[in-house]
Chains A and B, each alone.
Chain A
């Protein structure tokens, strides 16, 4: 018999109140209960970074958190980063244009990680980007185009701010 607990929290701006098994990971909750399958699970032990989401604005590995721990908190997944349906976030646009992804498995985790990075450091160097995404594994791109896309997105976002 698995213990359950009723929790209430927001995901991508929408409020959810639901009862979850206490051992359910935040990642599995997002994918299986909310059907937000943009959050990917690679290693499930905190190494690959594919499951990264923003928890109260900070990047965290959702495979290393329990859904019950999100009670009262705010979660943003890759589905929640674009400004409106049919539009892309400047980071997503830059990834699209610079071929910053191939298979796309790591992309949600890298995008959420970079959203925090660019918010905290709007004018990053290439080294800042490389260290920033060092907790995210990509097996396709060799990272080169991810770094190019991130730097381009940083430029666009600061231009937008004027």
Chain B
């Protein structure tokens, strides 16, 4: 098995990559290679040019600025997994990343690659939706920011132009003491989830929800924010019986039917996983407040 012939470019700076993208026809960006390389090996993609981003050091960083975490597009999953900053400031991402592929996948895979490949069930894509991330995009006219809600254009298709590249993403942090949980169901460890639920909650001193974000991955072409549930959770106390009622409408969300699972199964998973993740997120708040 062998990729089709292509010309290979390995720029050292982002502006060089942008210039190449703007001047070459039928070019593909190579990030961690965990999706593009299989597609090249199987000749699902036939680019005339491969622009390898792995030697652009400026695209690899994790830093905090203005209450948000900024991560470079070429930051590897491994670096996200072992980042102490993310563990403290973005624990949802820390929990989700450990469910991305296997050790070998995470040693090479990158944030930008996951976001642009935009698999509907990808963990980092769900995290970006949950945290209302902003995606930074560079093109010939400079850089622009895209709210994650506007980032998926279609199935596995980001809303960026052919001559643009994602340089990084900004993830606003939730306040210290918030509850979080990432729950997914996959057939085998390391597989893409059939459905995943990413939950963030803040509670007041009396244990009532003040703010909630409930994100479901794997239901459709892009992660789905369960906005109706997020609204009804406000003022509620997280409690098993009540959650059963509150999560029940998730069973009526639209879901895809495919070889992995029928829509009804995904709807059931959404209902169950959202509830479990909410309970775990709440338990984490309680754990921290009980001395």
Binding site for B on A (CB under 8 A): 1-3, 5, 22-25, 28, 41, 44-46, 49, 52, 55, 58-61, 63-66, 68-69, 113, 116-117, 131-132, 134-136
Residues 182-207 of B contacting A (Cβ, < 8 Å): 188-190
What chain B residues lie within 8 Å of A117 (beta carbons)?
103
- Since A23-B6, A61-B104, A66-B33 are in contact, a sample of 15 more A-B pairs with Cβ atoms closer than 8 Å, ordered by chain A residue number, is A22-B8, A23-B2, A23-B3, A23-B4, A23-B5, A23-B8, A44-B41, A45-B1, A45-B41, A46-B34, A46-B37, A63-B37, A64-B108, A135-B101, A135-B102
Chain A neighbourhood of B6, CB < 8 A: 3, 22-23
Number of interface residues of B (CB under 8 A): 30
Inter-chain contacts of B50 with A (CB < 8 A): 22
Contacts of A69 in B (CB 8 A): 33, 52, 54
- Which residues of the partner chain A approach B34 to less than 8 Å between Cβ atoms? 46, 61, 64
Main secondary structure of the interface of A (DSSP, over half): mixed
Indicate if the CB atoms of A64 and B78 lie closer than 8 Å. no
Are B7 and A3 interface neighbours, CB within 8 A? Answer: yes
Q: Which residue of A lies closest to B36 (CB)?
A: A64
Q: CA of A64 to CA of B32 in the docked complex: distance in angstroms?
A: 9
- Which residues in window 80-136 of B have CB below 8 A to A? 101-105, 107-108
Q: Do residues A132 and B54 form an inter-chain contact, with CB atoms below 8 A?
A: no
Q: Could you tell me the distance between the alpha carbons of A55 and B120 in the complex, rounded to whole angstroms?
A: 30
A113, B103: Cβ atoms closer than 8 Å: yes
* Contact A45–B104 (Cβ < 8 Å): no
Residues of A within 8 A of B41 (CB): 25, 44-45, 63-64
Q: Which of A1, A58, A59, A134 is in CB contact (< 8 Å) with B190? A: A134
* A113, B8: Cβ atoms closer than 8 Å: no
Cα A34 to Cα B181 in complex, Å, equals: 47
**Interface check B228, CB cutoff 8 A:** no
Distance, CA A76 to CA B40, complexed state (A): 25
Of listed B50, B54, B107, residue having the most chain A CB within 10 A: B107
- Given contacts A45-B38, A64-B37, A134-B190, whether A59 and B104 have CB atoms under 8 Å apart is yes
Supposing A59-B107, A64-B34 touch, asked if A3 and B5 sit within 8 A by C-beta, the answer is yes
> Chain B residues in contact with chain A, CB under 8 A?
1-8, 10, 33-34, 37-38, 40-42, 50, 52, 54, 78, 101-105, 107-108, 188-190
Chain B residues whose CB sits within 8 angstroms of the CB of A45 once the complex forms? 1, 37-38, 41-42
* Neighbouring B residues of A44 by C-beta, 8 Å: 1, 41
Q: Please give the distance in Å from A20's CB to the nearest CB on chain B.
A: 10
In the complex, which residues of chain B have a beta carbon less than 8 angstroms from the beta carbon of A3? 5-8
Q: Which of A5, A23, A24, A59 contacts B103 (CB 8 A)?
A: A59
CB-based contact B102/A134 at 8 Å:
yes
How near does chain A come to B110, taking the closest CB pair, in angstroms? 13
For residue B9, give the distance in angstroms from its CB to the closest CB of chain A: 9
B114 to chain A, nearest CB (A): 14
